[in-house]
Amino acid sequence: MNDCIFCKIINGDIPSATIYENEEFKVILDRFPANEGHVLILPKEHSANIFEINPEQAGRLFVLATKIAREMKTILGLEHLNVMQNNGTVAGQTVFHFHLHLIPRYENDGITIAYKPMDLCDAQIEDMRKKLEMSI
Ligand code: AMP
Ligand code: ZN
């Protein structure tokens, strides 16, 4: 993808603060972080989002994410961390190359990654459960 900023980072065409790399993934610091130590895990193969990524690759990515998160915990002395992954503009995606955010959190850090819970009744939950019940 020649107009994808993360493909350019992966190819070394634009610089990045890389903290880990293997054949399949590159792990970098977010250039405009929500908090210090905000990490992005990028698959080297381009796919736009969760609807496109190879499911097995997504699985391997999450295995790596657990390892990176534990290293961050040790190195930064973390107790709290958000894992975030946005798909589509309405969901907040700005770079259309699949990536996972690991965002360190500290007491009173003032960062909001939140939603306001809806007040649904049991029937509404059941309607949606019926709609979404699936065999994969
Ligand atoms: P999202 O909004 O989930 O698509 O996340 C895209 C992320 O990429 C944002 O957190 C940006 O700060 C980050 N970002 C954009 N450009 C760069 C860059 N050149 N290097 C590192 N991170 C970047
Ligand atoms: Zn890309």
81 CA distance to ligand 2 middle (Å): 26
Instruction: Return the half-sphere exposure (C-beta side, CA atoms, 13 A cut-off) of residue 7.
Output: 10
Instruction: Return the half-sphere exposure (C-beta side, CA atoms, 13 A cut-off) of residue 73.
Output: 10
Q: How far is it, in rounded angstroms, from Cα 51 to Cα 127?
A: 24
Position in ligand 1 atom list of the atom nearest CA 94: 4
Q: How far is it, in rounded angstroms, from Cα 65 to Cα 46?
A: 18
Task: Look at residue 1 in the predicted model and tell me its pLDDT.
Answer: 65
Helix (H, G, I), strand (E, B) or coil at 102: strand
Annotation marks residue 101 as catalytic: no
4 CA distance to ligand 2 middle (Å): 5
94 lines ligand 1 (CB under 6 A): yes
74 lines ligand 1 (CB under 6 A): no
**What tens-digit pLDDT sequence spans the chain (136 residues)?**
679 999 999 999 999 999 999 999 999 999 999 999 999 999 999 999 999 999 999 999 999 999 999 999 999 999 999 999 999 999 999 999 999 999 999 999 999 988 999 999 999 999 999 999 999 8
Task: Look at residue 2 in the predicted model and tell me its pLDDT.
Answer: 76
Q: Are strands 25-29 and 80-84 parallel, antiparallel or unpaired?
A: unpaired
16 CA distance to ligand 2 middle (Å): 14
Q: How many CB atoms lie within 10 A of CB 52?
A: 11
> Which residue in 77, 73, 98, 103 sits closest to 87, CA to CA?
98
Q: DSSP alpha helices (H): ranges in the chain?
A: 5-11, 55-76, 122-132
Q: How far is CA 67 from the centre of its chain?
A: 14
Query: Taking ligand 2, which is a single-atom ion, which protein residues have CB atoms under 5 Å away?
Result: 1, 4, 6-7, 46, 97
Q: Which ligand is nearest to the CA of 42?
A: 2
DSSP state of 12: T
